């Protein structure tokens, strides 16, 4: 090991060995656009830190442009936006809502917290999105809505789901946590449902640490969405000068984030194209450079059907066996590359069994959950980072 003086610290005699371990490649990290601190300082210097000020409005306007219209309401999280949708749909005990078993818990907790029953349905093996035949088979006289996830921002079968929901008089809610910037046949994800929900958690493409939004596409719900979000009051109308005081009107809770969060979100949304270009660069390199290895070893790469354009939210591989899921994650970990698996099937989870119903076994979900690996994907990855991930994956030999 040849020690090398670090120029900045040389005066203090600090040295680092040349073979110092390289920094780990992080699985996810918020991207700093450089504008967050400036906009945050504007809020801090202003007398208004609570929600629904200029930055909330600016963020909602920027989002509207990305989700194809609708009325957009910032929320503290995607989970809260889903809960808000459940309140607006008046979901309650005895109601059933169909949702995928292969998703994050929030899709189901938002249903269960109202006392309604999440009905877990399997996903298709290709896109890992809701299997519409299985959705249809799961409908009962009690079904009120379908909550759909665009997994990895790849459009679910929205045409069929929309038609099915319209025929049966059901609401369609897009959990669009992965899908901001994605589209189906040129139409933005988030514009197909009665409602759509967005997430700005710091694992998502744009972030305010925690954060979310409800998109209301059916105008019937717009006025009530404002009221429920504002502790059951008509404060939004008051702020627009439409009433001279605001009063308690309806059910409600506090579903608005502060201007501090909104300011950070505005900085991120203004840099959306830059963030997306960086993410697509990483996604595209994985897709191209891992293809021969994947072919040779029976590994399935992410599939994007014709007509779908995705926002490079995640990159996953489906390995030949569960042993390879653990094996690849360990192999990458030894090379300082952080990779993870998800989701644990909701239908067989402790709360899923207790609070939900599973009309037929979610076999694809169980199978894929045991074999899927997600690779690092965020806008801060450098070409060298991606080289390291690719080289590390290519050096892995599946056992099956
Ligand atoms: C991240 C995520 C959520 C939850 O988002 P929060 O903003 O953290 O509440 C919900 N659904 C899906 C599919 C997600 O990926």
Query: In this structure, are 114 and 182 located in the same domain?
Result: yes
Q: What is the pLDDT of residue 6?
A: 41
Q: Which atom of ligand 1 has the smallest separation from the CA of 210?
A: 7
Domain boundary pick from 242, 270, 298? 270
Query: In this structure, are 186 and 232 located in the same domain?
Result: yes
Domain boundary pick from 270, 289, 318? 270
Q: State whether the beta carbon of 78 lies less than 6 angstroms from ligand 1.
A: yes
Q: What is the pLDDT of residue 69?
A: 83
Q: State whether the beta carbon of 212 lies less than 6 angstroms from ligand 1.
A: yes
Question: What is the band of 22 on the pLDDT scale with cuts at 50, 70, 90?
Answer: confident
Question: What is the band of 1 on the pLDDT scale with cuts at 50, 70, 90?
Answer: very low
Bridge partners of residue 121, in order along the sequence:
100
Segment 92-106 shows an average pLDDT of 98
Instruction: Among 123, 199, 365, name the best residue to mutate to test ligand 1's pocket (greatest count of ligand atoms within 8 A of Cβ).
Output: 199
| Domain, as residue range, for 256 | 36-270
Query: In this structure, are 88 and 218 located in the same domain?
Result: yes
Instruction: Among 152, 178, 201, name the best residue to mutate to test ligand 1's pocket (greatest count of ligand atoms within 8 A of Cβ).
Output: 201
Q: What is the pLDDT of residue 23?
A: 87
Q: State whether the beta carbon of 123 lies less than 6 angstroms from ligand 1.
A: no
CATH code, domain with 382: 3.90.1150.10
Q: What is the pLDDT of residue 7?
A: 42
- In contact, 217 and 72? CB cutoff 8 Å: no
Q: What is the pLDDT of residue 19?
A: 54
Question: Does residue 299 carry a pLDDT above 80?
Answer: yes
Q: What is the pLDDT of residue 16?
A: 46
Query: In this structure, are 232 and 150 located in the same domain?
Result: yes
Cα–Cα separations (whole angstroms), residue 160 to 127, 138, 173, 309: 15, 15, 14, 18
Tell me, yes or no, whether 294 lies in a domain.
yes
Question: Does residue 5 carry a pLDDT above 70?
Answer: no
Tell me, yes or no, whether 21 lies in a domain.
no
Segment 269-286 shows an average pLDDT of 98
Question: Does residue 327 carry a pLDDT above 60?
Answer: yes
Q: Which atom of ligand 1 has the smallest separation from the CA of 81?
A: 9
DSSP secondary structure of 35-62:
-HHHHHHHHHHSS--SSSSHHHHHHHHH
Instruction: Among 104, 202, 377, name the best residue to mutate to test ligand 1's pocket (greatest count of ligand atoms within 8 A of Cβ).
Output: 104
Question: Does residue 383 carry a pLDDT above 60?
Answer: yes
Tell me, yes or no, whether 399 lies in a domain.
no
Q: State whether the beta carbon of 107 lies less than 6 angstroms from ligand 1.
A: yes
Query: In this structure, are 183 and 311 located in the same domain?
Result: no
Tell me, yes or no, whether 22 lies in a domain.
no
Residue nearest to atom 8 of ligand 1 (CA): 201
Question: Does residue 12 carry a pLDDT above 60?
Answer: no
Question: Does residue 260 carry a pLDDT above 90?
Answer: yes
Average pLDDT across the chain, whole number: 95
Query: In this structure, are 121 and 196 located in the same domain?
Result: yes
Q: What is the pLDDT of residue 21?
A: 62
Minimal CA–CA distance to 63: which of 235, 247, 205?
Answer: 205
Cα–Cα separations (whole angstroms), residue 356 to 128, 346, 370, 394: 20, 9, 21, 41
Query: In this structure, are 251 and 279 located in the same domain?
Result: no
Cα–Cα separations (whole angstroms), residue 50 to 82, 252, 261, 312: 22, 18, 10, 32
**Structural domains in the chain (count):** 2
Share of the chain above pLDDT 70, in %: 94
Tell me, yes or no, whether 15 lies in a domain.
no
Q: State whether the beta carbon of 104 lies less than 6 angstroms from ligand 1.
A: yes
Q: Is residue 395 packed enough to be buried (19+ CB in 10 Å), middle (13-18) or exposed (0-12)? A: exposed
Q: State whether the beta carbon of 175 lies less than 6 angstroms from ligand 1.
A: yes
Half-sphere exposure of 109 (CA within 13 A, CB side): 10
Q: State whether the beta carbon of 77 lies less than 6 angstroms from ligand 1.
A: yes
Query: In this structure, are 343 and 315 located in the same domain?
Result: yes
Domain boundary pick from 208, 235, 270? 270
Query: In this structure, are 65 and 176 located in the same domain?
Result: yes
Dihedral (CA of 299, 107, 282, 334) sign: negative
Segment 282-286 shows an average pLDDT of 98
Cis bond before residue 343 (omega within 30° of 0): yes
Segment 281-306 shows an average pLDDT of 98
Tokens 């717009």 found at: 222
Query: In this structure, are 235 and 283 located in the same domain?
Result: no
Tell me, yes or no, whether 29 lies in a domain.
no
Q: Is residue 270 packed enough to be buried (19+ CB in 10 Å), middle (13-18) or exposed (0-12)? A: middle
Residue with the larger pLDDT of the pair 400 and 106: 106
Tell me, yes or no, whether 219 lies in a domain.
yes
Instruction: Among 76, 77, 78, name the best residue to mutate to test ligand 1's pocket (greatest count of ligand atoms within 8 A of Cβ).
Output: 78
Segment 161-171 shows an average pLDDT of 98
Determine the 3-state secondary structure of 254 from DSSP. Answer: strand
């Amino acid at each position: 090991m040849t020690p090398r003086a670090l120029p900045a610290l040389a005066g203090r005699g600090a040295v680092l060995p040349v073979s110092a371990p390289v920094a780990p490649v992080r699985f996810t990290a918020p991207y700093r656009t450089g504008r967050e601190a400036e906009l945050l300082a504007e809020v801090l210097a202003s007398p208004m830190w609570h929600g629904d000020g200029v930055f909330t409005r600016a963020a909602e306007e920027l989002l509207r442009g990305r989700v194809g219209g609708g009325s957009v309401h910032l929320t503290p999280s995607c989970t809260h936006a889903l809960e808000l949708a459940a309140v607006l749909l008046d979901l309650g005990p005895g109601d059933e809502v169909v949702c995928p078993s292969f998703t994050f818990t929030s899709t189901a907790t938002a249903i269960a917290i109202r006392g309604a029953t999440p009905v877990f349905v399997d996903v298709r093996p290709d896109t890992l999105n809701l299997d519409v035949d299985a959705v249809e088979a799961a409908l009962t006289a009690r079904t009120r809505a379908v909550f759909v996830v665009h997994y990895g921002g790849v459009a679910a079968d929205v045409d069929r789901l929309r038609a099915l929901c319209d025929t049966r008089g059901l609401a369609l809610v897009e959990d669009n946590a992965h899908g901001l910037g994605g589209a189906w046949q040129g139409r933005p994800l988030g514009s197909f449902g009665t409602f759509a929900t967005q997430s700005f958690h710091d694992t998502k493409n744009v972030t305010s640490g925690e954060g979310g939004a409800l998109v209301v596409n059916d105008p019937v719900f717009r006025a009530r969405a404002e009221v429920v979000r504002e502790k059951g009051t008509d404060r939004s109308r008051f702020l627009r000068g439409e009433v001279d005081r605001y009063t308690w009107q309806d059910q409600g809770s506090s579903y608005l984030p502060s201007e501090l969060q909104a300011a950070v979100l505005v900085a991120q949304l203004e840099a959306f194209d830059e963030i997306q270009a960086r993410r697509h660069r990483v996604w595209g390199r994985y897709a191209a450079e891992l293809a021969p290895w994947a072919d040779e070893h029976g590994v399935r790469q992410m599939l994007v059907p014709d007509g779908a354009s995705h926002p490079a939210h995640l990159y996953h591989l489906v390995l030949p066996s569960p042993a390879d899921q653990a094996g690849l994650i360990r192999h990458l970990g030894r090379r300082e590359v952080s990779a993870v698996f998800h989701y644990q099937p909701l239908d067989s989870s402790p709360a899923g069994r207790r609070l939900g119903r599973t009309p037929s076994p979610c076999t694809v979900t169980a199978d894929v959950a045991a074999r899927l690996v997600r690779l690092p994907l965020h806008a801060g990855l450098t070409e060298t980072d991606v080289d390291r991930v690719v080289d590390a994956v290519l050096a892995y030999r599946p056992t099956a």
